Structure 1
Amino acid sequence: MRITVSTVSLTVDDVTASRRFFTTHLGYEEIAAADGFASLTRGDAAVDIVLLRRGAEALPAGRRGPHAAGAVLAFTVTGIEDEERRLRERGAAITLPLRKEPWGETLFQVTDPNGIVVRFVEWAAPEEVGEGADA
């Protein structure tokens, strides 16, 4: 087996609002859409996203009601400070401000209109871990 792409499917109440968030703020492109459905891609290492309206028959019967609550979509990036600034200036809801952890992780997160949490992470080089931990 050879995996050619990875996709996460998220159940939301308002597919249009999440599609608009991911295409406007995070550089995704819509590659397919129908009533209550959108398929998004970026063309880089990011996971593709399928948005399905809650209650859609395409979902397994036992999974039609739950919302994507609790899911965190995480991206490891470069240039995290510039990205946080760009998203803040474009009006994205920064729900966890940029911060540096002592183990070498710099992170922040945004939340889309349906409550989908998107976390951005940049890792320090091993020799930098511990430096600036109080920053």
Structure 2
Amino acid sequence: MSRIDYVIWYVRSLDRAVAFYRDVLGLEVRIEGDGYVEFAMDNTKFALFEAAKLGELIGRDGGNPPCGEIGFITDDVDAEAERMRGHGVPILTGPVDRPWGERTLHVSDPDGNVVEFAQKR
């Protein structure tokens, strides 16, 4: 296996999570229905799924957030930090220059998952 097809976050409130990823981060909704919302991305599928519906899908509950981190490449981490502050999004770290040649910013989504913005140096 050498390619990721999709990433799905299980969320407590689909409406609240969609508002964050669509209205705050600026992602475009591509598909939605039955507890699922997928965003238009160039390189992979990224979607949200209502955690309460997991029993119907896989027969049991899923993980408890924060479950992971998703990273987005950006041209200007400092501008993203200002934009996130303007939306009242909790800043976890940054912007900070990293020894691996990136400037990063970490914020929290409504379910506590970590969202990273990285600017290549």
Instruction: Give the TM interval when normalised to the shorter protein.
Output: 0.7 to 0.9
Using the size of structure 2 for normalisation, the TM-score is 0.80
**In structure 2, what is the Cα distance between the partners aligned to 1:71 and 1:84?**
20
Q: Deviations over 1:69-99 (max 9, x none)?
A: 3310011221111121122122222122311
Following TM superposition, the consecutive aligned residue runs of length 4 or more in structure 1 with deviations greater than 3 angstroms are none
Equivalent position SS for 2:57: coil
Gaps of 5+ in 1: 125-135
Gaps of 5+ in 2: none
**In structure 2, what is the Cα distance between the partners aligned to 1:102 and 1:9?**
30
Asked if residue 91 in structure 1 is aligned to residue 88 in structure 2, the reply is yes
**In structure 2, what is the Cα distance between the partners aligned to 1:84 and 1:122?**
12
Using the size of structure 1 for normalisation, the TM-score is 0.73
Overall identity of the aligned pairs, in %: 25
**In structure 1, what is the Cα distance between the partners aligned to 2:100 and 2:30?**
38
Q: Which residue of 1 aligns with 2:23?
A: 24
User: In terms of Rg, which structure is larger?
Assistant: 1
Q: 1:106 to 1:35 in 2, by over 3 A?
A: same
* Shift of residue 9, structure 1, vs aligned partner: 0.8
**In structure 2, what is the Cα distance between the partners aligned to 1:97 and 1:36?**
33
* Shift of residue 8, structure 1, vs aligned partner: 0.9
